[in-house]
Amino acid sequence: MYTKEDIKKAETIDIIDFCDQNSIDVQSDNERYYRLVEHDSCVIDRRKNVFYWNSKGKGGNIINFVQEVEETNFMGAMNKLLDENHDYQKNENVEFVVVPYEYSPEKEVEKFDKARDYLINVRKIDAELVDDLHDKGLIKQDKYNNVLFLWKDYENIMGCSEQGTIKSEKFKRGTWKSVHKNSTANYGFNVKNGEPKHLKFFESSIDLLSHATLNKKKLKDTWLISMEGLKHNTVYNYVLKAKEQLKDTPESVSLCVDNDKAGTTFVDKLSLLEVKRKDGTSYSMKQELPTKGKDWNEQLKLTVKNREESKKRIYKQKQLER
């Protein structure tokens, strides 16, 4: 049995140092946030020494983390953390140095063919939308043929997310996916159409573009924002930014997340908050979940497939009537 002192000692161990010493690959989003390479929905907040596994809807301290990653119970996690063969760093001794994000334009290429083909023909994103955002410098292609989604704040590039275009078995989701190191916290890929009167938040840049394709004629005065996961602080940041521009809070905030347990839990928490407006009225953030498939890209693909099948049926019917 472990004492309260043993548990307190285990809780002080730095999660990232534990990962480093146990060959658990992590990638850094910035000095504070990390994520597991093999499970990128598992985000580690190093400053608070906690984790949140978005796709599972689970989180907690380092003991909970070891239980999840090592698939063990409380005793197994404690045995691992207090193993005398390891000298783990205490989280309180970690020095946090904020390194500002610097975009490297030399990674870009002038060509946009591979990125464009992937977005339009594989992901079924509207061609006009893709070309427009490329012309505006929001979407680019790098030398590895990855799609680059630039996180712009006016003319400043705050960060960047990458989406691979080549399938490979070594990637959990089939293609490469990453966020540039030191990308500014609480920002994401975003597209603004007119004034930011209506805010819509998504889990990924692809979902954002998928929703925009499905609702192309309903985007007036709408700000579409990718959180690159499920991040409360990204929502708060952009609501405040919209308020600065409008001199009032936005008229609506929609959480367009995945239709799964993690997504609905995220919505349930944020929908408890009231957004107050200048005129004294208030409203709750609303959920806007895909009804076909788990995420907005699945919904888009199914919609396109159904549309194409319908066209084929109509064509065949006309041929028979001749």
pLDDT digits (tens, 9 = 90+) for 21-31: 998 988 887 77
| Confidence at residue 98, expressed as pLDDT on a 0 to 100 scale | 77
Give the C-alpha separation, 25 to 16, whole Å.
Answer: 9
Give the C-alpha separation, 158 to 240, whole Å.
Answer: 17
pLDDT of residue 76 exceeding 90, the answer is yes
Give the C-alpha separation, 32 to 45, whole Å.
Answer: 6
Instruction: Look at residues 231, 282, 230 and name the one whose alpha carbon lies nearest to residue 258.
Output: 230
What is the pLDDT averaged over residues 107-124? Answer: 97
Looking at every residue in the chain, the average pLDDT score rounds to 93
Give the C-alpha separation, 177 to 172, whole Å.
Answer: 10
Q: Domain-by-domain residue ranges, the chain?
A: 4-93, 105-307
Give the C-alpha separation, 122 to 117, whole Å.
Answer: 7
Residue type, 214: L
What is the pLDDT averaged over residues 291-309? Answer: 95
Q: How many CB atoms lie within 10 A of CB 18?
A: 21
Instruction: Please state which CATH number belongs to domain 4-93.
Output: 3.90.580.10
Give the pTM.
Answer: 0.80
| Confidence at residue 126, expressed as pLDDT on a 0 to 100 scale | 98
- Residue 203 in 3-state DSSP? coil
Question: What per-residue string of b and e applies to 176-208 under the rule 16 or more CB within 10 Å gives b?
Answer: bbbbbebbbbbbbbbbbeeebbbbbbbbbbbbb
Residue holding tokens 């579409």? 224
| Confidence at residue 37, expressed as pLDDT on a 0 to 100 scale | 81
Out of 76-90, 107-121, 170-184, 290-304, pick the least confident.
170-184
Taking only the tens place, the pLDDT of each residue in 195-239 is 999 999 999 999 999 999 999 999 999 999 999 988 998 999 999
